[in-house]
Copies of this chain bind each other. A is one copy, B any other.
Amino acid sequence: MVEYEMFYSNPTTKAKRSEIRELLKLTRKPEIISFAGGLPSPLSFPVKDIKEICQYVLEKDADVVLQYGPTEGDMSLKEELAKWMEKDNIRVSPEQILITNGSQQGLDLVGKIFLNQGDIIIVEMPTYIGGLQAFNSYMVRMEGVLQDDNGMNMDLLERKLGELKGRGEKPKFIYVVPDFQNPSGVTMPEDRRRKLLELASEYDTMIIEDSPYRELRYTGNQPPPIYSLDTEGRVVSMATFSKIFCPGFRLAWIYGPAPLIDKMVMAKQGIDLCSPSFNQAVAAEFMRRGLLSKHIEKIKEMYKEKRQLMLDSLEKYMPDSVSWTKPEGGLFLWVKLPEDMNTVELLKKAIENNVAYVIGSAFHYDGSGKNTMRLNFSFPSKEQIVEGIKRLSEVIKKEM
């Protein structure tokens, strides 16, 4: 038989079966209350409208919506998106937008056009697991910068950039999730965003702004997107339909300086030719009918309550030495246990007690963060949130 190991590429040889994936499998028993997923609630899907619009686009335009489409993405969808983003002071032409299969494909495209083996990139600690996965497949070296309650710490970033410069090295980009970050739930205020742009300019590097949750703010004011503050063309940004429409259509978009989007279009040609025309047509029509804003209001109402309930339950049941973030939006919050505790070991006990979370170390490029965990509040029901936090608190108390 064939020895496949001899045929694998270097990233494939290096890749290990993900520990989290294996752990997540354990959480799929029906009796478990899981805060581990990152899924939107199915109650948030606009089923009736999608049903209607599927019929509409097939009656009106079957020849086009069932055919191959342009790699760049459906022009009418991109026009709708360009208009839509004006509310956030984002000024882009449709040519600066590329439709992708979820933001995950945006991350892969960023990797594809920017990264060579051995390149350095800077990531938040903690950061989005899918970002780590996408960039790791390009065999890069990662440098981490710690977050506080206002996102990536800019003093630490400045020090890190200085250190790298001292060694004659320069990161290709700084990857940030500035709005209700996955996993931490924290948001970067405007002054930090400006500082980030200043540092990127001073040290001549790029910024990748990944913002899947931006529209889901339940309280407080939204700082401007980093993209909208950029005057030098240093920012490439990502947004998605997965959390404000539905994930099952796999639609997201990436926007940025035209020459970079052009390179990504060329890369996407070799990657999958184009995103599904049908799905794009349905999303475009949903926007054209003005349904997106209304629908987002509904989702926010639903998640706002769940978020509050999770915060209240944590307050009520958790021991004093446990702390957590208070996200103003998004799907997640971040829990810190005392330094000497280990959430990987704790997970087995949590699962025995029918409650689950994602271990914090999965979100650290270097496997640190052993005493942290991520909790999702969008998917579980209100009853499950209360009961689940109660169970989790019990497990933690017993372990102390």
Interface residues, chain A, with chain B CB atoms under 8 Å away: 1-2, 4, 7-12, 15, 17-18, 21, 39-40, 42, 45, 47, 50-51, 54-55, 58-59, 62-69, 100-102, 104-105, 107-108, 112-116, 130, 133-134, 136-138, 172-173, 204, 206, 232-234, 242, 246-250, 257, 259-260, 263, 266-267, 269-279
Question: Which residues on B sit within 8 Å (CB–CB) of A263?
Answer: 8, 12, 15
Let me know if A233 and B68 touch, CB within 8 A: no
Let me know if A248 and B104 touch, CB within 8 A: no
| Copies of the polypeptide in the assembly | 2
Instruction: Give the residue name and chain of the B residue nearest to A3 (CB).
Output: B204
Interface of A is mostly: helix
Q: Can you list 13 A-B pairs with a CB-CB distance of less than 8 A? A: A2-B234, A8-B263, A18-B266, A45-B67, A47-B62, A47-B66, A64-B248, A104-B270, A105-B271, A105-B272, A130-B273, A248-B278, A250-B273
Q: Say which residue of B15, B278, B279 sits within 8 Å of A266 (CB atoms).
A: B15
Let me know if A63 and B51 touch, CB within 8 A: no
Bound complex: CA A276 to CA B2 (Å): 33
Q: Say which residue of B21, B68, B248 sits within 8 Å of A248 (CB atoms).
A: B68
Let me know if B67 and A270 touch, CB within 8 A: no
With A9-B115, A12-B113, A266-B17 already in contact, the answer to whether A1 and B232 are too (CB < 8 A) is yes
Determine how close the nearest CB of chain B comes to the CB of A27; give it in whole angstroms. Answer: 15
Instruction: Give the residue name and chain of the B residue nearest to A100 (CB).
Output: B272
Let me know if B250 and A272 touch, CB within 8 A: yes
Bound complex: CA A10 to CA B114 (Å): 8
Bound complex: CA A136 to CA B105 (Å): 19
* Further pairs besides A2-B232, A2-B234, A9-B113: 8, Cβ < 8 Å: A4-B259, A12-B113, A12-B267, A42-B62, A66-B246, A101-B275, A102-B274, A104-B273
